[in-house]
Structure 1
Amino acid sequence: MTDDHHPGAGAAKAQAVKALAETFLADLRDWTTIPAISADPAHRTDVTRSADALALRLDRDGWPRIRRWDLRGVPSVYAEWPADPGAPTLLLYTHHDVPAPAALADWRFPPFEPTVREGQLHGLGVRGGRGRTAALRLGVRAHLAATGRRAPEVGLRLLADGAGLPSAASLYELLGEYPAELAADLVLCGAAEPVRAQAAPLLSTALGARPLPALPPLTARPGPGADERVDLASLHGHAEALATLVRTAGARAPGLTDRGSAA
């Protein structure tokens, strides 16, 4: 993966992803042990633990501004990484909660005991919001490592919804409550269907932001059991694509409105 303006940039991003991947995989495995089932009141504390775990990881990644938003007792995580003046702002939407696991008797490995087998990670949420969030984090860090920058080339705002499943209904309330923080020029929905089908048009319409195409899908090879699983190679590809997007989105397109960054 190279580009016309920076030959070899793709190789640098791939190397950065490879160098950082084990750390981010360990993070994802640890995060997957938290049963943050937002639809079950019995797991309300676990959803809070999940939000706090993500906020801690974002802080370790270097995001300079991180907030936990508790709306109706449901914690979402917001993070911001301002860019240089004149750069557009990209909002990354995802979610950190998980659905109640189905067909438990058919799972080879327990859903909250993440297991790596034959290049695949098994665990609830690894191919959904949590896996995508981990890949987004990895992509941002790979972008910085590959370019030697201390801040991304585009302003970044990340929203990890705490009640994103089974729908993006809570996003309406978050947009109404925090319009200034969520303002953006570009928007990328890092959620699987059907949440993406609801959230992507809502975000672009509400914010007047340009929707960006989905990143390469997270894939899994067929196998025995009903486990949710993801190919580690596809997590790496997702991260590389995000690293590329952060760089290319920094080039202002004609007519793009600059919204600046929140203080």
Structure 2
Amino acid sequence: MLDIRNLSAAYGQSQVLFGVSLSIARGQVVTLLGRNGMGKTTTVRTLSGLLPATGGTITLAGEPINRLPPHRIVRLGLGLVPEGRHIFANLTVRENLLMAQANPLAAADPWTMDKVIEFFPRLGARLSNGGAQLSGGEQQMLAIGRALMTNPSLLVLDEATEGLAPVIREEIWARLKVLKAQGLSMMVIDKEVDALTEFADHHYAIEKGEVIWSGDNAALLADETIRHKFLGI
């Protein structure tokens, strides 16, 4: 589904990514772990076309995307839930969802507003409310719902549950498990390792713009060095 090879990226003269490589198989959930400022969000921004790559390659479902603009990448199947949610505060919940509605890959059973509301019932009671009137948890649900409305083949979540109340975090994790069961490929960035290991298949740890470790759930849970040194757990 996704293959990143020797990816480099920079902000002006400051290089941030140094040869990042990772892959996600179809239907697989992969995490990108690391402390703040280590290159996780820069990887996501480069993957989604918001920051030009200075080297390396990115392919999505076999299509090279590292030289494409963001809207073309979305049409090829990338759905992004950005850090900070970035919903449209001056639009209603209904408008936030409808503006993202698309089915570029001709999914047989596409996501619609009704399906998103069924998936996140809290949003159904808030359809006429503006984005700024939602709680943090509701905004995150809306951000995920908006990404699903593009009918992605790969969903990328940057800080999936950051700053949310425990009960909302549990609800988000439960919904992501449903998406995995439905076969959706995902890249998830978050610090809740215990929750991630309940449904992720593989993990990558990044430090100073380089992938310094990768492994499955058993390897991550067994390796205290990774969890303490690179995740602060």
TM-score greater than 0.5 by the shorter chain: no
More strand by share: 2
More helix by share: 1
TM-score (norm 1): 0.29
